[in-house]
Structure 1
């Protein structure tokens, strides 16, 4: 492939401050890069059967087929390999020019949601060890996520406990499209283990629960799939609140990743209104739903909504709370939010520091 790589566009304004990027996607150069961390049994399984996920598309997720892994065209490393697979190139294209002081790694296509549960556990474990060996041990600005096979609560809890106290890891990572709503008791061992380890639970859009992103079948267009991610996050957050997750785990922190954020205030308003009318159905909730969300939930900015006039976005951020917003780019994907251009709003210095850096350091315990 003849790819012209643009490390920095001509005339692009430089990023003037240190930032935290709460959504960076690393990829292995090939599946064999994970072999040092996989037993021979699972190497053979991968070669023979591949990564078979619970979804409607046997051949792969509904990414636009013209761009592998939904990547930016300029993100292919000049040495070859997938976008997000070369640490030196990531430094040159993203970490250094954008002054990334903290980057959270969120590996995708990483074993979560596989049909074979034992293989899913082994693959997640391998990806976790690979993150440390190939990324965080070589670049102190990067922090890994604990990947877990979320449909096996006890197995996921054991993997979280394996990394408890390890400074290489900043959070536990789940996906938004699970077999059941994330408030269900089958997932509670994950929250218990994360709370004990003092690790936030990140929930990234996408996933492999075996169901469509809609409530009525598979969508026709990628546009529908993309918009549906915010709907998934609204459903899973509603489930976690109403099922009593935050009442039962008072120290649990949740980070919602790559589903936008403008929908969150309206969800809180509607939840409070309906809860007030039907509160006798959920006596285990001691407070309005919005209070649990305000106390336990953070949300990333990417892909940022862009209303006109821009004041509407400022109002939305105010309603969410300036201390609950986390800047993210989604590097190296096609809908990357460039920190030099994203959120062109009249922030105060304090607001900008919180959104672009301080909130991430706080929620991940790295202040």
Structure 2
């Protein structure tokens, strides 16, 4: 019997295998849940000043969200609280029915990653990280945390990596792709050096606020338009990391782009960079190989939100170019654009391809094998 399934049928092997979900979003029930992990000296600051971020508006996103909490309607826990705030419900609603072998927590809010106050930002990152351990990873061994960093303060970031990097509760470092500067700049190198030394993956999850508009010409008119800015943000990070020499300097670094508008843009980025490198490579002599070589060696890409071309086999061509070992499955639970492992991929996959995509690639990328 052929191990290739029909493209339109559910991918049953996903649940039989046990999947590795590279993007799950936990949320505290309330801000007080994080406050108690802060050192006492920061409590007054938390109460009186709160989270003063780099975004242009004091208490709102840079663009109104299209749906409440960005989440599925069925993801609200019966116990109360926002989606992603109840471990028991997450187990019942997602981990168990989808046979999640391992899930990576990506904390979007609250976070100290982009707070303006450097000391408070570092303290908030530590509090969020300690909360991940107590509320999630120590209670559910299938879940792994992401070390949230005050990324504009490299010294404080390295201290946090050194504090937590050897704990089994964490499998990666979490960074925002929208830095104050291009993220390949030398000011960020200590973070990458520390990650490589501890064999930790570095993930750039879409989004983040740096005080600038999400496009080069200002704020977009529509949420639709804002959402599509995820792709150029990811391309800018990858281009900077390659051309500034980060991946040449740190060859063992494993870099993961998460929720970056699918993966259809990756081949074209490689083609464009190679074309320019052949003509302008003398400007960057530290880039010793064609950029696409670094792209295929040092970077992994999560699938969600999965590309859905009219001809599903066109997506297979994208997988082929990127490399079947470099694409990680992700659901984005509990958000509205959740990708169900049974239906996310529309083209036929062999048993070995399914095993790589749904499980084994992530084991390698996160160093859990």
For the aligned pair, the TM-score class normalised by the smaller chain equals: over 0.9
Structure 2: 5+ residue runs without aligned partners?
1-9
261-270 vs 51-60, which moves further: 51-60
Distance 1:308 1:66 in 2: 25
Match of 2:19 in 1: 19
- Deviation string, structure 1 residues 287-307 (Cα, Å, up to 9, x no partner): 111111111000000011100
What is the CA distance between 1:46 and its match in structure 2?
A: 2.1
Q: Distance in 2 between matches of 1:66 and 1:202?
A: 25
Does 2:179 correspond to 1:178?
Answer: yes
Report whether the alignment pairs 1:73 with 2:73: yes
1:117 Cα deviation after fit: 1.2
What TM-score does the superposition give when structure 1 sets the normalisation length?
0.94
Counterpart CA distance in 1 for 2:353 and 2:286 is 35
State which of 342, 345, 349 in structure 1 corresponds to 2:344.
Answer: 342
Q: Specify the alignment match of 2:4 in structure 1.
A: none
Partner residue in 2 for 1:126: 127
Which residue is 1:206 aligned to? 207
Is the contact between residue 38 and residue 126 of structure 1 (CA under 8 Å) also seen in structure 2? Answer: yes
Using CA pairs under 8 Å that are at least 6 residues apart, name the structure with larger relative contact order, 1 or 2. Answer: 2
Unaligned runs of 5+ in 1: 1-11
Deviates most, 42-51 or 120-129: 42-51
Pairs within 5 Å for 1:104-143: 104-109=104-109, 110-143=111-144
The aligned residue for residue 281 of structure 2 is 279
Report the counterpart of residue 162 of structure 2 in structure 1.
161
Separation (CA, whole Å) in 2 of partners of 1:318 and 1:46:
49
- TM-score, scaled to structure 2: 0.94
Aligned equivalent of 2:328, options 326, 329, 336: 326
SS of equivalent residue, structure 1 residue 37: coil
- Determine which of 261, 264, 267 is the counterpart of 1:262: 264
Cα distance in 1 for partners of 2:348, 2:63 equals 34
CA contact (8 A) 1:177 1:207 kept: yes
Distance in 1 between the 2:98 and 2:42 partners?
38
Tell me the CA shift for residue 57 of structure 1: 2.8
Deviation at 1:66, TM superposition (A): 6.1
User: Where does residue 227 of structure 1 map in the other structure?
Assistant: 228
Cα distance in structure 2, aligned partners of 1:212 and 1:356? 35
The aligned counterpart of 2:306 is 304
CA distance in 1, matches of 2:324, 2:286: 29
Is 2:359 the counterpart of 1:366?
no
Paired position in structure 2 for 1:315: 317
Take 1:66 and 1:182, find their aligned partners in 2: how far apart are those partners? 29
- Aligned-pair CA distance for 1:336: 0.8
- Contact 1:62/1:222, CA 8 A, preserved across alignment: no
Distance 1:200 1:333, change over 3 A: same
Cα RMSD for the two superposed structures: 1.4
In 1, Cα distance between the equivalents of 2:96 and 2:62? 32
Q: Does 1:236 align with 2:237?
A: yes
Quote how far apart the aligned CAs of 1:67 are.
3.6
